[in-house]
Amino acid sequence: MGKEYNGVIQLKLHFNLFPGGKPKALTMSYDDGQKHDVRLAGIFDKYGIKGTFHLNSSTLNTPGFLSDDDVRGIARHHEISAHSVTHPFLDTLPLPMVINELLEDRRRLETLVDYPVRGMSYPYGVYSRAIIPPLQSVGIEYSRTVISTRQFDVPPDFMEWHPTCHHNEDMDQVWEQFTTRPSLQKFSLCYIWGHSYEFEQDNNWELIESFCRKAGGHPDIWYATNLEIMDYVTAVRSLKMSADHTVIRNPSATGVWVSVDNKPVCIDGGSTYYYKN
């Protein structure tokens, strides 16, 4: 229950819940579009885990890389996202070339999926502040770096989305920390990235198989693509509230969950919640 204090209702309102009122989320992010992505996506599917595959369109249908049909198959359960046409160091290119690398990558990938491709990961993890506005100007809304945080926060700026860790960085210990930590008054997201060819090179497919076996099927975890996470968090951030926080309007098309006095409350897209204590 909220408490009266000098005429202001002090309700406990927190933005820490994912769809269904779930307190935690997991997303996976894999780069470069080698053929091994098909096997990796199959492992994700087996355990109900969702991921995002960042692809370089110039490699599609070349030896060792995904075919158009592979991409369509992966896209049934996962997000297809950009990684530039030719995998350059984007921070060294003239801006018109940066723009072309991502606009053309989107255009090519969008012939294979039925939605706008709106995200990317930076090739080699390299970026500069100067390239972010040009990328946004061609429809890129998020981009993943390779800076491991070992934390479970959602980024303040999705154009600098730092992952929790690479799958070789003691992922099992990270998972233990993630699942055993108490729920906090903020979002709790575990974000793991890598390349599927590393499992082949390192001969350790069992690493990801055992992780997914352990990580899948938790009723309190939302399994989502990078884009689903961004869209959901953006919808929560776009809530409009009265000054005393007792009237909450959700102007987005996405239903969102908030914690009111430690209870999950769903506010449907386009609806308004009125707090009554």
Interface ranges with Zn ion (CB under 5 A)? 31-32, 123
Structure tokens at 153: 């926060």
Structure tokens at 204: 């350790």
User: Which residue is at the shortest CB distance from Zn ion?
Assistant: 31
Instruction: Provide, rounded to whole angstroms, the least separation between the CB of residue 189 and Zn ion.
Output: 22
CB 205 within 8 A of CB 33: no
Instruction: Provide, rounded to whole angstroms, the least separation between the CB of residue 158 and Zn ion.
Output: 19
Instruction: Provide, rounded to whole angstroms, the least separation between the CB of residue 87 and Zn ion.
Output: 6
CA distance 172 to 176: 6
CA distance 258 to 19: 9
Pick between residue 50 and residue 144 the one whose CB is nearest to Zn ion.
144
List, edge to edge, every strand of the sheet that includes 256-260.
13-14, 256-260, 263-267
Residue of 81, 85, 138 lying closest to 115 (CA atoms): 81
CB 57 within 8 A of CB 72: no
Structure tokens at 69: 């049909």
Pick between residue 32 and residue 70 the one whose CB is nearest to Zn ion.
32
Pick between residue 21 and residue 125 the one whose CB is nearest to Zn ion.
125
Four-CA torsion 154, 134, 91, 82, nearest 10 degrees: 60
Pick between residue 89 and residue 115 the one whose CB is nearest to Zn ion.
89
Give helix then strand counts, H and E, for the chain: 8, 16
Instruction: Provide, rounded to whole angstroms, the least separation between the CB of residue 80 and Zn ion.
Output: 15
Instruction: Provide, rounded to whole angstroms, the least separation between the CB of residue 274 and Zn ion.
Output: 48
Instruction: Provide, rounded to whole angstroms, the least separation between the CB of residue 104 and Zn ion.
Output: 16
Instruction: Provide, rounded to whole angstroms, the least separation between the CB of residue 39 and Zn ion.
Output: 18
**What single-letter DSSP state applies at residue 153?**
P
CB 168 within 8 A of CB 152: no
| 3 state DSSP class of 122 | coil
Pick between residue 22 and residue 83 the one whose CB is nearest to Zn ion.
83
Pick between residue 197 and residue 275 the one whose CB is nearest to Zn ion.
197
Pick between residue 23 and residue 123 the one whose CB is nearest to Zn ion.
123
| 3 state DSSP class of 138 | coil
